[in-house]
Amino acid sequence: MNRIIETIHKYESRSMHGQIPVVWESAIDDKVWDINGKEYIDFTSGIAVTNAGHNNLKIRETIEDCKLLHAYTFYTKQRADFLEYLIKHTPKFIEKVFLVSAGTEATEVAVKLMKMYGMQKFNRNKKIIISFEGAMHGRTMLSEQLRGRNENNKWAFNTHSTEVCLIEFPKKDAKFNPDDIFYNTNTIAGIIIESYQGWSARFYPKQYMKDLVKWCKKNNILVCFDEIQSGMGRTGKLFNYMHYEVQPDLICVGKGFTSSLPMSGVLGRKDILDIPEEGSMSSTHSANPLCCAIGLANFKEIKKLLPDVERKGKLLYKGLKKLFSKYEINGKGLLYGIITPSEKYATKVCLKAMKKGLLLIKTGRESIKIAPPLCVSDINIKKGLKILEEVR
């Protein structure tokens, strides 16, 4: 195990290091085995990716049965079947889809679409995007710009762009105040909202979000929810924005979109998705047949698992609340963030839990994140909580 880790550290960029030192060999459902045969309960889902469970049988069968691995943007049956199912089984405002490869690519597409819409439908200056300070929308330059410059993002090279308006993440029970947004509404094209604060699992105050979306609609500002980490059943609803009882214009999806291979997308209104000219925003792996086939199988599996997520989440939360009663605990469904006294303490808990057979998400901050596969068993929830009791 040490040789593998040392080899990776020797030849791979340091930016990819810093994770929990476990060398995975195999995984199924909510369990992982390392190369020495040690078994772990997985409370990470690969950071909310394997929502349908590791090596989900239906997804594995789909991979084995697929006769096409790539077709660029040529038409395929897999593509048609997935798109048709996706539209039929998502909210009515979702009329079209733009498929790409990674979450950060989806946020890039969403921002382009909102800018195009504002400039085409209203005026050439309606191109500013609102984002929340510290939000995680990916790793590209644009995503870093949407995140802003803070103590955890010191290399945000283009933070000072005049086309991004950064506002603070609201505190508990905060009220939305339009005066916090210092740009003229005639110049604002859209807002992109990380559905919950990624590192902490903090949710926005519900009334704040309802008032914000209402203000956006009133001023012809498009609303996009970044559901890359929070979507596909993670918080007990198909998409997390549903907890706020609002309706966006666009949503970004990824991670749990396939529970396996890289595919992401922007879902939303037809009049927005159809703005780009034909072929102007295609991507090499857009809508590739393998990922589309997996996406369909995954969506069907998520629908089966979704009705039980809230119950399992309550079981998990009850245990966490008992163990970490003096700390702030955020989240819903099968997603929680425990805010601890320090990054050092949070990392220590993650490493001690790993040694006892429980994998937690090491955030690199003062939080411990928990996001088991949606198929996690009650038994393994209880076992995981028992380990947490021993290492807290």
Burial bucket for residue 84 (CB in 10 Å: 0-12, 13-18, 19+): exposed
- Regarding whether 159 and 257 lie in a shared domain, the answer is yes
Mean pLDDT of the region 80-109: 96
C-alpha distances (whole Å) from 201 to each of 14, 78, 212, 354 are: 26, 35, 20, 21
Inter-residue long-range contacts of 12-16, CB under 8 Å, 24+ positions, other chains counted: none
- Regarding whether 48 and 71 lie in a shared domain, the answer is no
Mean pLDDT of the region 123-145: 91
pLDDT band at 154 (very low <50, low <70, confident <90, very high): low
User: Domain holding 277: CATH number?
Assistant: 3.40.640.10
pLDDT band at 295 (very low <50, low <70, confident <90, very high): very high
Per-residue pLDDT tens digits for 196-219: 999 999 999 999 999 999 999 999
- From first CA to last CA, the distance across the chain in angstroms is 26
- Regarding whether 336 and 260 lie in a shared domain, the answer is no
More confident residue, 385 or 280: 385
CA atoms of 336 and 176, how far apart (whole Å): 25
Q: Which of 284, 305, 326 is the last residue of a domain?
A: 305
- Regarding whether 288 and 167 lie in a shared domain, the answer is yes
Per-residue pLDDT tens digits for 219-244: 999 999 999 999 999 999 999 999 99
How high is the pLDDT of residue 140?
86
User: Domain holding 367: CATH number?
Assistant: 3.90.1150.10
Tell me which DSSP letter residue 197 carries: B
Cα-Cα-Cα-Cα dihedral sign, residues 104, 106, 111, 112: positive
- Regarding whether 87 and 41 lie in a shared domain, the answer is no
How high is the pLDDT of residue 319?
98
Mean pLDDT of the region 33-44: 97
How high is the pLDDT of residue 254?
97
- Regarding whether 62 and 49 lie in a shared domain, the answer is no
Q: How many CB atoms neighbour CB 203 within 10 A? A: 20
- Regarding whether 225 and 247 lie in a shared domain, the answer is yes
pLDDT band at 157 (very low <50, low <70, confident <90, very high): low
How high is the pLDDT of residue 152?
57
Q: How high does pLDDT run on average in the chain?
A: 93
- Regarding whether 80 and 149 lie in a shared domain, the answer is yes
**Helices of type H across 156-247:** 206-218
- Regarding whether 151 and 261 lie in a shared domain, the answer is yes
Per-residue pLDDT tens digits for 240-270: 999 999 999 999 999 999 999 999 999 999 9
How high is the pLDDT of residue 3?
86
Partnered with residue 335 across adjacent β-strands are 332
C-alpha distances (whole Å) from 353 to each of 29, 38, 245, 302, 362 are: 19, 13, 37, 28, 11
Reading across the β-sheet that carries 367-370, which strands appear in turn? 328-332, 335-339, 367-370, 361-362
How high is the pLDDT of residue 290?
96
- Regarding whether 236 and 349 lie in a shared domain, the answer is no
How high is the pLDDT of residue 8?
81
What share of the chain has pLDDT > 90, as a percent? 82
Q: Which of 278, 305, 332 is the last residue of a domain?
A: 305
Q: Which of 305, 335, 353 is the last residue of a domain?
A: 305
- Regarding whether 68 and 198 lie in a shared domain, the answer is yes
How high is the pLDDT of residue 149?
63
Domain hosting residue 131, numbered range: 58-305
Residue 281 has pLDDT above 60, yes or no: yes
CA atoms of 360 and 370, how far apart (whole Å): 6
- Regarding whether 237 and 318 lie in a shared domain, the answer is no
How high is the pLDDT of residue 5?
81
CA atoms of 199 and 364, how far apart (whole Å): 9
More confident residue, 279 or 103: 103
How many domains are there within the chain? 2
Mean pLDDT of the region 321-337: 97
Residue 73 has pLDDT above 90, yes or no: no
